[in-house]
Amino acid sequence: MTPEKETAAIVLDCRDQGESDKIVTFFCQQVGRLSGIAKGAKRSKQRFVNKLELFSSLHLTYSLPRHGSLAFIVAAELQSSFLNLRKNIALYNAATVIREFMLIGISEKERDDRIFEILFWALQSLDEKRPHLSIVVIFLIRFFEYIGYRPDLSHCLHCSRPVSAQGRYGFNYTTGCLICAACSSQGFQTIIPLSPGTIKLLTTVQHQPLDRLHRLQFSTLALEESLNMLHRFGRQLFQRDIHSWEALRREGK
Ligand SMILES: [Zn+2]
């Protein structure tokens, strides 16, 4: 084992291992995605109790093995359990979508503090009972950018004309780019309609600092278009269904 290390961490997954242990997956500041074993966590009444719940924000002490991949979880100090988002089904479903994207989009040891910051921001925002669908949209726009798939919302991919407020556009979810109405009439199948107002709002999400994102107001149309686009883009990117999406949309109505 290496010397003990400490980091801020958020619990993304936790499952039982054998009679008494738990395997926990975290996303950590400066460390990225980290999986570790919490010895005795199933039985221990003190050391880990109520700390390894999904979404909890922790101060984690761990050490790394010389061989193998699982870290050894030495201690976990609870920073916030984000209690409000556990008490409300819509908030919880939004957090669950965010968690699913984190788990399928980020590999072990992959690290980026911008992802840690937007993840923490999103969970905290849900805990503050802010509009949950807007939080999902903002999280996903930034998340796709940080994993290297930033939606290009500045111009039409085919004719290169910049977006105008009078134009009509669609998002091509196989390329991650916009197509204008004139170009799409030439036949592109994989297009989600996006109005200029939604494009402008999403572009603002890409550029604003985190502490100003709560000022953005999403209309019903902007939310619908954004969620539709991000869902299809995610499914295309990861080549699989987003299992938690249906519950998010059901509760969001
Ligand atoms: Zn065009």
pLDDT tens sequence across 166-219: 999 999 999 999 999 988 877 666 789 999 999 999 999 999 999 999 999 999
Residue 188 Cα, ligand 1 centroid: separation in angstroms?
Answer: 11
Task: Give the count of domains, the chain.
Answer: 2
Q: Indicate the pTM of the whole model.
A: 0.94
User: Are 140 and 243 contained in the same domain?
Assistant: yes
233 CA from centroid of ligand 1 (Å):
20
Decide if 33 is inside a domain.
yes
Mean of pLDDT over the chain: 93
pLDDT tens, position by position, 139-162: 999 999 999 999 999 999 999 999
Tokens of 4: 């003990």
Distance 223 CA to ligand 1 centre (A): 24
Ligand 1 center to 242 CA (angstroms) = 30
Binned at pLDDT 50, 70 and 90, residue 41 comes out as confident
Instruction: With respect to residue 89, please indicate whether it lies within any of the assigned structural domains.
Output: no
CA of 181 relative to ligand 1 center, distance in Å: 7
- 160 CA to middle of ligand 1, Å? 6
pLDDT score, position 190:
75
- Ligand 1 mean position to 179 CA, how many Å? 5
CA of 169 to the centre of ligand 1 (A): 9
For residue 190, the CA-to-ligand 1 centroid distance in Å is 15
Give the pLDDT score at 44: 67
The reply to whether 208 and 145 lie within a common domain is: yes
* 225 and 136, same domain (yes or no): yes
Q: Is residue 101 part of a domain?
A: no
pLDDT at 2: 77
Question: What per-residue confidence (pLDDT) applies to 45?
Answer: 60
The pLDDT of residue 47 is 76
Do residues 146 and 36 both lie within one domain? no
- pLDDT at position 38 over 80: yes
In a domain, 63, yes or no: yes
pLDDT band at 252 (very low <50, low <70, confident <90, very high): low
- Cα 178 to ligand 1 centre (Å): 8
Range of the domain at 72: 5-80
Q: Is residue 58 part of a domain?
A: yes
Last residue of a domain, one of 61, 80, 99: 80
Distance 230 CA to ligand 1 centre (A): 21
